[in-house]
A and B are shown apart, each in its own frame.
Chain A
Amino acid sequence: MAQTLTVAIMDAPYEAAASTTAFRIIASALRKGIDVNVFAYEGAVSLTMKGQAPHANPVKGTTVEEEDHPTTKDIVSALVALGAEAPRLTWVNCGLCVDERGAGDWIDGVKRGGPADFLKMAEGSSATLVIPTK
């Protein structure tokens, strides 16, 4: 039977190194065939906002195309694709956190939930990792 890892994250996009580390852990677990649950709490619910757009870089003099840099929603989409079947990635945004941030227009593969869902995911998992914000 596949193992399951639940990860709770909190950091808003583009603010902390921990977000990238979380992405790396999630990707690694999926590559190993481990099902992954993500509970995005607080600022982390903004990682999946559909309205994110890449930009040119006037300091470096590069166009959007030349920068070719993903937004966090693109990264999460890639993880969702990695975990589309088996192993499976289940990404839950904390609903109240979404509401107060206006972050409700999210990419495909994400759902709304709350602390009770986080508890249920943790109870059903082989391991749970909480990555706090600072």
Chain B
Amino acid sequence: MSLLMTTMVHAASCGTNAVPGSPTACSDLSWLSPGDTSWQLTAATFVALMSIPGLAALYGGLVPKKWAVNTMMMAFTGFSAVLVVWVLWAYKMGFGSPIGGGTANTYTYHYGGNFFANLFNNFVGHPETSLRGSSEITQATLPIGTSVPLRFSTTALFYFQFVFAAITPLLFLGSVLGRIKFKVWLLFVPLWSTFVYSVNAMLMWGGGYWAHEGALDYSGGYVIHLAAGTSGFVAAWMIGPRLARDRAKFVPHNLPIISIGAGIVWLGWNGFNGGDPYFASADAATAVVNTNLATVSALLVWVLWDMFAGKSRKPTFLGAINGMIVGLVAITPAAGYVDGSGALLIGAIASSIVWFAWTFIQPYTLKRVDDAMGVVYTHGLAGLCGGLLVGIFADPSVIIYASTGASKKALTPFAVTGWLYGNRHQFFLQLFAGLTIIVYDALATAVILFVLKLLFRGLRMSDEELEVGDLAIHEEEAYPADEGYTRVGELAGVGASPNGPPPAPSMSSTPDLTGGVR
């Protein structure tokens, strides 16, 4: 039986996706590494756990009780909506053949050529459905090419890239929660994945302009976090503020739940950065260690700022969580390009910058744009800090054996060099790539929401719904009371009657489930 199945798998692997020139033979699976495949699927699952339950619990705990259900609901539905468009068209828009012509591996890109031609020909991929039939078990390829052929299937790469696409809207959920109409959210997320995320992914990773120029984004400091911060900020501005009373008093309702969510986010990040070398390799281990180094550094630095410069001079748990997120975000564009001390420095610098912005600038921006969770700081600014700092701290002795951007050097094992090691050019690549993301994402997000605003006659719930929160939107609440509930409908009256003893058990073999009360 197993022999038969193996034979079938071999036959089906004769797809068209084999890497040209690679030793892959059509009729065998010698390209497949169980170790690489296991790590890739494990890393992907870790990243997925960061979204659900990680962010659902983190944001669900950070909002007042009356918004907990709505917040968790948007996390679970947003995650789901992304996968639908991801398989139908968006994956290929981010990682498929560019619209300007050419196939995935032969770009119409000319170094030093026409800037606009290079930008627009490789702006986004052809929207196509992924995972048709036999393509599911073919060897994965990256559109930008890899120095070493990948040793897992297309499906593994597809799912790994999906969990990144899925977490991004869930991050900017923090900017818009507490007032966005649920229907608007259900459409905003897939539209954003289609028109913004896929463009970002192509631009930095899939073989778009900045990928070719050699700008670095190891795991999404720009594609994910700068994008989420920018888009969330624009969305918060377009949707309008929360209810004035909610803004005045938006006290987190459950700190232990926050601790669970935040912990899952932190350790899930081991998959986030550790999965991006695409090999169960030394790079993966380096990225995991760097991720944790930057995070502990940022967490502790934030706590120290709180203790010695904060309003109450007290260490706070939620401050520590903010520092943690800033560290995770800031190391994301850099995780495999810097050494351990670079990682510690990136965490400390980013945490300090964001702490000062959070403390001294946020009060002013919050008056004008109601970014409820401050995503533009903890993700947007932190992502930008990390993206710029990798241009400074990238250490040429840290060698990458596979392609994660920086394609010019990707045909052989490569290393990247930051300003500190003599390559000033890298810093400016990072700066301009970041600005491209900010400008494009802000405009595209505004256009999407402008259309949705016309379609739904407003993006914000009514004041009556905002007063009540979860109960008005979902008819559910986070912590239903113990008393006072009476079942309506088919099972009404079963087991209890408010006006007397429960109805006598029926002697008939088919119990009367209505209990005689309708």
The answer to whether A and B belong to the same complex is: no
- B-side interface residues toward A, CB under 8 Å? none
